Structure 1
Amino acid sequence: MGFVKTLSAALAVAVLMGSAPAEARFGKRSRPSTSDAKDSDDRDDGRKEHRATPVGRASDAPVRSSVRASGAGLGWFDVLFISGPASYHRRARAEVPRGQRAPRPAPLVHLNLQGNSFGDVGGALDLFMALDGQRWGMDARVSGLSLEPDDGSSDRDRLTLLDAHLTLSPWSTERGRFRMEAGIASAHAPDAIFVGPSLAASLEACLGPSPFDVEARIQVVPFPHRQVDMQAGLALHLGALNLRGGWRTLFLSDGGHLDGVVHSDSFTGPYLGLGLSF
């Protein structure tokens, strides 16, 4: 039951990361204020790293802090997981006479839509499409985030995350699939655009003879910005239709490339989704 341990570990990490407050908006220039100027005068070590501070406590950071983590709310629709070939495997297995090997699965095309809620912080809407062969494949996705402003303005902050990956499946059977992914990712923030390498891994496995699959995925962008995107949940396969639900945690940091101050955000909350595989 290796996939159960993997799912448990992913969920535990997601909860731990989501429980910590994060700082002023990723990729957004510092907006000076009176309190910020005073804090800046009091600093004598010359460092410009913006660290998270719990709500209700004073901060020595040069930028006003803002809570960017929440675990409340409802999701809308899904996408971020690659629609597994599990339903195809089940059908193929059922059609093969006893004693014969199930046919190798044909390439599968997946189209998905996912909605994420980050409580009163905001939410995200994701789209992606993927192609799965027996071993090789590809996927491309876009995630649009709409967030409450952190500087008291009336306009909402919007972030767009894009990535494109080639995928390799070292394990692909009628019971599920494990993928290793590599490609390129970009983050479009209010005051900057970051482009860097992206690595990911995903797992999906059948839960016995039921129509449910367990799914988990993690994506990491190490530089120039830092991005960690994790989610885990269950998928219900109804023929070509896939219904999904689970939990997502997203961490973003600009590494201080924008104005010498590290701006980071952490978002967490449930997601719901809808997909088609054919």
Structure 2
Amino acid sequence: MGFWKTLCAALAVAVLLGSAPAEARFGKRSKPGTSDAKDSDDRDDGKQAHRATPVGRLASDAPVRSSVRASGVGVGWFDVLFISGPASYHRRAREVAPRGARAPRPAPLVHLNVQGDSFGDTGGALDLFMALDGQRWGMDARVSGIALSADDGSDDTDRLTLLDAHLTLSPWSTERGRFRLEAGIASAHAPDAIFVGPSFAASLEACIGPSPFDIEARIQAVPFPHRQVDMQAGLAVHLGALNLRGGWRTLYLSDAGQLDDGVVHADLFSGPYLGLGLSF
């Protein structure tokens, strides 16, 4: 229960933070004059503006310039493919196994997936997944293409691409579901920078009684050189080898002041996702 309480609390905090105004896109240099114009507007409104903090002089009380974005509920993009294979496989195994007999150990499963995310008026994402699950060891690869409305008031579109590849270990893998620990490498391709760093994740899929429904949750973190936290939780319903998924995703990105403009650019996106998948 501690895992679920922590995940729910993190999602709640992320949604609350998402109401703050956007000022600077992750991995995108601040345009000259943007800060001066904003400072002037803030002085006219009687408010004190935050100054950009140069890299190397960050203090605990130094203002950090960030863009924090989250969606309203909105309508999620349609997904074309996703699976939570181990749970569906275990469910099929229980149906085939004789009464009282132990379900067979799962053979390696290949998963091919696509997921759509809506971030409200901010934009959305399309995610591709591919995974291989054995009894204990496996692999997982993901790519997420994110399209966002520009944060400078123009009609342009900012595009981000997130890639990661993990080896997975399943300390818990039974007929009731699977818990994975993951480690590997991740990259973030932003408008003005490319970041590559270590990546760690944990995911859970668990059957809800004899029903066709599963609970699913995943959290991924990249500690450096940029900061990335990707969380999602929801339900999956199984229709044979096919399943449909839906839930909520929250994504936080920060370039940690790695750009040459001396500003910490950060974004927080949050919204619903829908999915559809196959396993074989």
Q: Could you tell me the TM-score, scaled by structure 1's length? A: 0.87
| Alpha-carbon distance, 1:129 to partner | 0.6
1:48-197 alignment runs, 5 A limit: 58-62=48-52, 66-78=67-79, 83-197=84-198
AA of the residue aligned to 1:264: A
Indicate the residue corresponding to 1:227 in structure 2: 228
| Alpha-carbon distance, 1:58 to partner | 4.7
Q: Report the identity percentage.
A: 80
Moved over 2 A (4+): 5-9, 34-40, 56-59, 61-67, 76-82
Q: Does 1:272 align with 2:274?
A: yes
Q: Report if aligned partners of 1:71, 1:270 keep a CA contact under 8 Å in 2.
A: no
| Alpha-carbon distance, 1:23 to partner | 4.4
1:17 to 8, 14, 19: 14
2:265 to 263, 266, 272: 263
Instruction: Give, in whole Å, the separation in 2 of the partners of 1:8 and 1:34.
Output: 41
Instruction: Give, in whole Å, the separation in 2 of the partners of 1:190 and 1:104.
Output: 46
The structure-2 alpha-carbon separation of the partners of 1:81 and 1:218, relative to structure 1 and needing over 3 Å to count, comes to farther
Q: Give the count of matched residue pairs.
A: 260
SS where residue 32 of structure 1 aligns?
coil
SS where residue 91 of structure 1 aligns?
helix
Instruction: Give, in whole Å, the separation in 1 of the partners of 2:117 and 2:239.
Output: 22
AA of the residue aligned to 1:100: A
| Alpha-carbon distance, 1:137 to partner | 0.4
Q: Report if aligned partners of 2:66, 2:266 keep a CA contact under 8 Å in 1.
A: no
Structure 1 unaligned blocks of 5 or more: 41-55
Structure 2 unaligned blocks of 5 or more: 41-45, 54-64
Indicate the residue corresponding to 1:50 in structure 2: none
Once superposed, what is the RMSD of the aligned Cα atoms? 2.3
Instruction: Give, in whole Å, the separation in 2 of the partners of 1:261 and 1:77.
Output: 36
- Larger CA deviation: 65-74 vs 250-259: 65-74
Q: Could you tell me the TM-score, scaled by structure 2's length? A: 0.86
Q: Please list the CA deviations of residues 181-213 of structure 1 after superposition, one character each: whole Å capped at 9, or x if unmatched.
A: 000000000000000000000001000000000
1:228-243 alignment runs, 5 A limit: 228-243=229-244
AA of the residue aligned to 1:24: A
SS where residue 26 of structure 1 aligns?
coil
Instruction: Give, in whole Å, the separation in 1 of the partners of 2:145 and 2:84.
Output: 20
Indicate the residue corresponding to 2:36 in structure 1: 36
